[in-house]
Chains A and B, each alone.
Chain A
Amino acid sequence: MKKIISLALAVVMVLSMGMFMTGCGGDTESDGLVVKAVLSTNLGDKSFNDSAKLGIDNLAAAGFDASVVECNANADLFEQNLRSAADVADIIVGVGSELDMIGTVANDYPDKKFVWVDNVMDDLEKYPNLTCISYKQNEGSYLVGWVAGKMTESNVVGFIGGMDIPVINDFYAGYAQGAKDANPDVKVVKNYTGDWSDTNLGAECGQALAAQGADIIFCCGGGSGTGAILKAEELGIKCIGVDQDMRITMPDYADYIICSMIKDVGLSIEGLVTKVAEDPEANWTGGEVFYAGMGDNYVGAAFGGPDQEVLVPQEIIDELDPIKEKVVAGELVVDTAL
């Protein structure tokens, strides 16, 4: 009896797998290019990853067969998911600094195109079918640093980083420079949570920075950074969001977010893929870095949705445009940690 049941179960499993696979096969037959984004962590950070998802959704709306795969920070899945994506997709987008094996995978699939977001491979020129998107987050951070420097009343502004890593420090470098240029008396204090999802720890960082006098805090800690925003009312601080316009993604707390530094991961993925689809030969930057800067609005500052009251005085917002022009023209060089 047991044998019959287990046999039946095995048959069912094999059949369902077969059906699942044919299901997958059907997907690839659509007309547009197949784009798969592999996230090393997961959706829901209300910033970086969700922004990538937005770009992929826009691509899907534009007729591409685009979708997202999450690895939930499970290191075993990184390479597997990249490879399974490469089996079916034309363009594979790796999102997350942990996906450093993307070069090896790219070598094994020479006729596919790979994009690694927000990280630059050391020996990138060796991978003709891999391009790395590098953001000028220091430039965008300069703008919000300027706003913070102008708006602080205590002359102390804070910074919460997820980890002490070059990308996060690049945010800090631009932010600190912007704040100091706007207000020479300003002092910048920082704290790293060392964790991307411990919300309580982010709130504790907020308190530690507020205790040092900070009244405006730039939250660059993913999910842990949102902790400071949740506690902003009690601590008497205002926060600056990151990656996405957090006044829109966290509308309940829009009163405590003065602005957000936009690192439009989605827009850059969208822009790159659309360009490549138009002309795969000329627009493909394989083996080179694709710099996403202020010129194409891939980084910048945002002040909330159209129906939200803007918390930053208009005269400060007006000051930002000349700064943008200077940065794009190369007259103003922003500090970098990369």
Chain B
Amino acid sequence: MWDQITALFTVGLFQNTIRNATPVVLAAMGGLFTEHAGIMNIGMDGMILIGAFVAVVFSFLFASAPMGVLFAVIIGIAIGLFFALFVVKLKADEFVIGTTVNIFAGGVTVYLLRSVFHQVGTWVSKDIKGLAPIDIPILKDIPVIGEVLSGYSLFVYLSWVFVILVWIFLYRTPYGFWIRAAGEHPSALETAGIDPVRMKFLASVLCGIFCGLAGAHLSLGYLNCFTEGMSASRGFIAFACVVFGMANPPKVFGAALLFGFLQALGLRLQSVGVPSDLTAAVPYLTTVLMLVYITVSANTKKRNRAKKEMKAEEAETAELAEPSA
């Protein structure tokens, strides 16, 4: 039994983890902008789906993967603007608009796939050019580590760089500060002479771009095909990771990796005889458990801090009171 379990930890498991995590990481990087800007964005799944579709369409038309990616980003910007227009400018309910985006994406991709491209279900063609895998020099020659960390499409490496860049942007640049302020305290931002609405628009557009990239990776980064509904709830998983990682890029990245790992492990646990229904539920079960843990621990932390502050205050008042006594 133990041998069987250790046999599960192959290079393939970790490659699978990274491949599972990448689209989620990309989408989550977008999602944490809207989260910081105080918009609850549940429309990411739809944004990913449209990105995946557009990427395949333009990769097919131009026979070039970069064109596919470019147009996925452009459409991402468009959806981001659309989303912000309704949610921020027209103050529609963000939950309703998010759901609308998801339903619209599911419908429009299927409709266009069938009516324009006369493909039903899965669109497979040699003319859909995918992103070629890239080997990192030096790193690829290291045994095991090289196999796990090298040989993916560009997006996988980009997603790692984005984690750092997004962190720097959010916490070390004025724009990042303003986006966070737009979510936490818009009136303060207004007092400082900066329009929170514009910051929310910026966050929404950035989210659209990242979701477009996530979609392009999903359809061109590994298999070069489009399947109806291929986002398969990854947008919701990304949203869970954002909440889970408290919208902090490295933590969100960790959450996405954990999720990808559990999914990959679940697939392999079947070979040890664990029922597949159970293994399919493992990532979601863990998400719920971790969310509970995070909420509880955050609450205890808050309570402890409050207690400490109260004690400090008491001590202070006592100190103040002493000389007068």
Contacts and interface: CB of A to CB of B under 8 A. Distances in A.
Given A189-B271, A208-B267, A211-B10, A199 B225 contact: yes
Contact of B120 (A44, A211, A231, A252): A44
A39 B12 CA distance: 37
Interface string B124-149: 11100000000000000000000000
Interface in B20-63: 20
B225 A230 contact: yes
B120 A50 contact: yes
Chain A contact residues: helix, strand, loop or mixed: mixed
A191 B267 contact: yes
Interface in A175-232: 189-192, 194-195, 197-201, 203-205, 207-208, 210-212, 223, 226-227, 230-231
Nearest to A207: B12
B228 interface: yes
Contact of B276 (A163, A211, A227): A163
A46 interface: yes
A195 B279 CA distance: 12
B124 A208 contact: no
A161 B218 CA distance: 22
Give the contact-size bracket for chain B.
Answer: 20 to 34
Given A42-B121, A250-B124, A164 B10 contact: no
Contacts of B122: 44-46, 199, 223, 226
Nearest to A235: B12
A253 interface: yes
A312 interface: no
Contacts of A189: 271
B232 A195 contact: yes
A300 B124 CA distance: 25
A203 B228 contact: no
Contact of A203 (B223, B229, B264, B277): B223
Interface string B271-308: 10001110110000000000000000000000000000
A197 B276 contact: no
A43 interface: yes
Contact of A190 (B16, B264, B270): B270
Across the A-B interface, give the 9 residue pairs with the lowest CB-CB distance, nearest first: A44-B121, A44-B120, A192-B276, A194-B280, A198-B232, A164-B276, A43-B120, A211-B12, A199-B227
Interface of A: 42-46, 50, 72, 161, 163-164, 189-192, 194-195, 197-201, 203-205, 207-208, 210-212, 223, 226-227, 230-231, 250, 252-253
